Structure 1
Amino acid sequence: MRTADFDYPLPPDRIAQRPADPRDSSRLLVLDRQAGTVSHQIFNELPELLSPGDVLVLNHTRVIPARLQARKLPGGGRVEVLLLRRAAPQRWEALVGGKGLHAGRRLQIVGGPIAEIVQELGGSRRMVRFEEPIADALERIGEMPLPPYIKQPLRSPDEYQTVFARVPGSAAAPTAGLHFTAPLLERLHARGILLAEVVLHVGLDTFAPVTESRPEDHAIHSEWCQLTPEAAAAINAARARGGRVVAVGTTTVRTLESAARGASPGAAVTPFEGPTDLFILPGYTFRAVDALVTNFHLPRSTLLMLVSAFAGRERILDTYAVAVRDGYRFYSFGDAMLIT
């Protein structure tokens, strides 16, 4: 298996710059793995595509406005700090952009406290210590960390949050969830489709292309996730009654499959909380997930590899070619797939 096997051509004008309005008016390509068929729907038709008793599992993480502007002390040179993970109330793992940013360098956060780089973690990663806890100030001084392929500014920070975002901690949105609206969630409930919650705080590495020639050599970074006992019980009960476990997004897949590794015989998942380094590649045997709602992913990304593991690499690349031909919109603000 080569990383180049997960490449595909994409015209730049297929990269969505704005979310659909309303969100659930985005297009939905439905791929039936067993029949090998593709059909074309609208996302707000999702309730009719699922069955009563299915359980739809949503990632309730919330994106934090993690992009901070700073100045070097002394000198005043511009620095950008992108918070990735809180290690302690005053210590964060971050990407720090600029020159001469070694351990001991002090930074003045614009509108916020002084910070100091205390450890170099490789590349542009740094451990940064702030003079005071900064989490409560992020809504005031931070900016939303949009992916680099989105060139247009947000009209509102809420455009890059799901309607069910609740637990702050992500550096990027779980983008499959961006298609949902409150009325759509109500219709799903009214049809008898169960809703369950996980949390996985998304890091930027999730979206990074694999640069090694063999995917197996790629070092995937861990992400914190949680499946509560209540959610695990609901998922196991739905599966026992013959319902499908429908994961919304690759982050939910990663959480559920991490929780499946310790499940007892006859159960799909067990409660789980902590970091996961699960790297799903073709050949992986799925234990918890029966169907998947997902966006169209970047070439050579770990997300495309995960979706290929779920539905087959050739079938996914053929389906992506259909989506390109038929004008689907790609990436974070793009259209969606339902893989059954």
Structure 2
Amino acid sequence: MDLVGEVIRSVRVGRPGARLVRQTGPRGVRFPAFEGSGFHIVLAGTCWLVSEHAGPVELRPGDVVLASAGAAHGLSPVPARLGDLPMVAFGPHPPEQGPARFEFLCGSYHLAHGAAPHYLRTLPALVVVSPDRERAPRLRALADLLRAEVAASPAGDDATVPALLDLVLVHVLRQWREEHEPGDGALTDDPAIATALREIHERPAEPWTVERLSRVAGLPRTSFARRFTELVGRPPMRYLTEWRLDRAAGLLRETDAPLATIARQVGYATEFAFSAAFRRAHGVPPGRFRRVPSPGMSGDDAPGRAGTVRAERG
């Protein structure tokens, strides 16, 4: 199972949106925290990424900012404090006219129930990826296509926009993983813990226990549990539960499979146990989650934890 593919499946439970922003004023713009994930692609000009707990980061054309779990942040023509930037204007506003200090695309996935997929929540709050235009021409081509589609449909709800947002996110996450997650480990380069993670990702329906996972990892149970928690940020069984329910949310939206079938696919012996766990995680029972579509989100709601990490140009 491809981890990036599973992340895309999980974010799709929220309706995606996109918007083109041309910043003509001198003060920049602030994006509030939200439940979901999103990104900005700098198209022209230079600007600074501003966050609550880290210094400003300079951005250049082609740079992509990924707000992995919806953290508050801002974009400014000069270094600034986040609280000093004006809040983004919500609604289907067309791009500002006149000379622009900088220009960028916003893409976002707003999740009405639950948080961003677990893997995205393990990333730094704000990730900056700087693709090499010679080595990574596809991301530039995707940005050009997305810009054209958003220009043709300013509300960002054209039928092709979701697919383009998915592809941009795929390429951003792949570059991040290539540079920061060597090997097959999804969250760590520790070979023992990476092996356990791979088993969880590929076989979530297995009746995993800490004991079974420790044997897969080749570690004593206590050492495995401690090392897993230190490296992944969650105890093994909590991580397993979150991964299963992220997958379940995607299956509910993408398939017509009965709840009992989905329950078995993600490791629950009964529909009742699955429904109770899903409701605790997402705030609604799975049947209601499937019936009620997530509210749309225009691209101006796009992105947003503290900390900023840059993946440098190759």
Q: TM-score, normalised by structure 1?
A: 0.22
Would you tell me which structure has more strand in proportion to its own residues? 1
